[in-house]
């Protein structure tokens, strides 16, 4: 795009609409985690079974992300945003009336998971259609940072609202209300046509011209599958960090650390807030220091994430200061690499399929989050502790770092770096 058109200030309103949508759906996702023990008690189920409410959400994310990109590419980002937000807000609005049955709650969580599939697919088009390549890292950092912001708000507010209402169903209902604001904002802001222009040329892989690259031909590129595996490891670490570590901190010993919901909430919100700064800094790092090389942030992020295993050691877990520092350090890793991965996709696929490629990478990859939560829940139920579930985060992070070494596109770099 020419500089004058592409750099219109309206792009920041479009970015804000995307950030608000992402923030609200992740508030709904994480609201269950700090109060999972209360939910299990009210539904008369085991704690390990209750973790399926998180796993089901993530599994739905993975399935719908793959198709959410199709909706975004074919019908536009407004449709994708509104449809996704409705999938999140309608179940929360109904929860006071359907929240007394585990099967019904599980179904609601599956519907809510679809929200991420539709909304997340808009990240690629927002970057590719509204922002120049030199701002992809920053814009992506703000979008991915909204995940951490939503999680931070949800983790902090959920126990507090539960304490006021005394009902987990009403807690979920209240935390779902920002989604309606996000719907209105998306309708008002994102219907404008992106600046018409000369899109930066995206040379295609293996000699195929960019303008002829289709979604199916993109799937034949090895880099697509390598990237999907990297996101698989990323999602495993992220979803287990945000959904299994808070219950580990709160649950009574010997199963957990016995810090209680309030202290668990404080530590968890610190982790998610540091994730917000990590994504913003990660975007700047990608633009200014890595110069468009996504491998650097991915390797660094995975190696930092692997340090989460340290919270299992008594010397760390019994010292609240060391525990907090370890959680903050580990919480920096996964969000830090997010902007680099999103920008890599936006820069290396044609704009006409970038929504579907975002959906494919993160859709396939999010099965890692579902697998991590499912296997983590199984090991928690069978062993009566969180050791193996948290240890697997570190193992998968090391595998992700090894795979990231090879994340070098066969495409020429998009003009702008």
pLDDT digits (tens, 9 = 90+) for 114-132: 998 899 889 888 988 888 8
Q: Of the segments 56-65, 137-146, 187-196, 344-353, which one has the largest average pLDDT value?
A: 137-146
Confidence (pLDDT) at 305: 94
Average pLDDT over residues 93-121: 92
Which sign, positive or negative, has the C-alpha torsion 118, 409, 281, 397? Answer: positive
Lowest-confidence region among 4-8, 70-74, 280-284: 4-8
* Mean pLDDT score across all residues of the chain: 85
Least confident piece of the model among 43-57, 180-194, 312-326, 383-397: 43-57
Selected residue with higher pLDDT from 406 and 58: 406
pLDDT value of position 409:
66
Does residue 1 register a pLDDT over 90?
A: no
What pLDDT score does 80 carry? 93
Mean pLDDT confidence for 158-175: 92
Check pLDDT > 50 for residue 412. Answer: no
| Average pLDDT, integer, range 97-116 | 93
pLDDT tens figures, 22-50: 999 999 988 888 888 889 989 988 877 88
Output phi, psi for 284, to 5 deg: -65, -40
The stretch 63-83 carries a mean pLDDT of 86
Q: How far apart are CA 390 and CA 377, in angstroms?
A: 11
Does residue 159 have a pLDDT over 90? no
First to last CA, the chain: 15
pLDDT in tens, 226-276: 999 999 999 999 889 888 888 898 888 888 888 887 788 788 878 878 888
Q: Which of 152-166, 177-191, 314-328, 402-416 has the lowest mean pLDDT?
A: 402-416
pLDDT at residue 3 tops 70? no
Return the CATH architecture of domain 11-190+219-404.
Answer: Up-down Bundle (1.20)
Smallest CA-to-CA distance from 361 within 347, 348, 342, 374 is with 342
CB burial readout 275-284, b (16+ within 10 A) else e: bbebbbbbbe
pLDDT digits (tens, 9 = 90+) for 170-223: 999 999 999 999 999 999 999 888 775 434 444 444 445 455 678 788 888 888
As a whole number, mean pLDDT of residues 49-57 equals 84
Q: Considering only CA atoms, which of 255, 266, 337 is closest in space to residue 298?
A: 337
pLDDT over 90 percentage in the chain: 38
Compute the distance between CA of residue 400 and CA of residue 393 in angstroms, rounded to an integer. 10
């Amino acid at each position: 795009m020419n500089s004058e058109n592409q750099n219109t200030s309206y792009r920041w309103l479009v970015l804000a609409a995307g950030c608000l949508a992402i923030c609200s759906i992740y508030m709904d996702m994480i609201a269950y985690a700090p109060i999972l023990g209360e939910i299990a008690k009210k539904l008369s189920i085991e704690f390990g079974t209750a973790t399926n409410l998180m796993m089901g959400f993530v599994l739905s994310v993975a399935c719908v992300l793959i198709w959410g990109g199709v909706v975004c590419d074919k019908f536009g980002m407004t449709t994708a945003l509104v449809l996704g937000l409705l999938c999140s807000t309608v179940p929360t609005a109904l929860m006071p009336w359907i929240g007394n049955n585990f099967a019904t709650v599980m179904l609601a969580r599956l519907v809510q998971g679809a929200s991420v599939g539709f909304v997340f697919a808009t990240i690629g088009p927002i970057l590719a259609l509204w922002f120049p390549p030199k701002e992809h890292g920053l814009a992506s950092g703000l979008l991915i940072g909204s995940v951490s912001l939503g999680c931070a708000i949800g983790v902090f507010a959920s126990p507090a609202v539960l304490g006021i209402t005394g009902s987990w169903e009403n807690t979920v209902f209240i935390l779902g209300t920002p989604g309606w604001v996000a719907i209105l904002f998306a309708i008002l802001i994102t219907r404008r046509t992106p600046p018409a222009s000369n899109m930066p040329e995206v040379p295609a892989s293996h000699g195929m011209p960019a303008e002829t690259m289709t979604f199916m031909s993109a799937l034949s590129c090895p880099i697509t599958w390598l990237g999907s595996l990297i996101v698989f490891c990323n999602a495993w670490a992220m979803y287990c960090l945000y959904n299994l570590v808070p219950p580990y901190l709160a649950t009574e010993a010997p199963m957990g650390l016995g810090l209680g919901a309030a202290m668990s909430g404080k530590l968890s919100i610190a982790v998610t807030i540091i994730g917000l700064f990590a994504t913003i800094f990660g975007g700047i790092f990608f633009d200014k220091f890595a110069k468009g090389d996504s491998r650097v942030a991915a390797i660094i992020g995975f190696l930092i994430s692997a340090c989460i295993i340290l919270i299992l050691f008594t010397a760390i877990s019994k010292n609240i200061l060391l525990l907090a520092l370890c959680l903050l350090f580990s919480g920096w890793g996964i969000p830090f690499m997010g902007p680099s991965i999103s920008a890599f996709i936006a820069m290396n696929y044609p704009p006409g399929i970038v929504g579907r490629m975002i959906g494919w990478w993160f859709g396939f990859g999010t099965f890692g989050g579902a697998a991590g939560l499912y296997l983590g829940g199984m090991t928690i139920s069978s062993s009566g502790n969180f050791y193996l579930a948290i240890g697997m985060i570190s193992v998968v992070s090391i595998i992700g770092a090894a795979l990231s070494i090879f994340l070098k596109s066969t495409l020429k770099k998009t003009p702008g770096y």
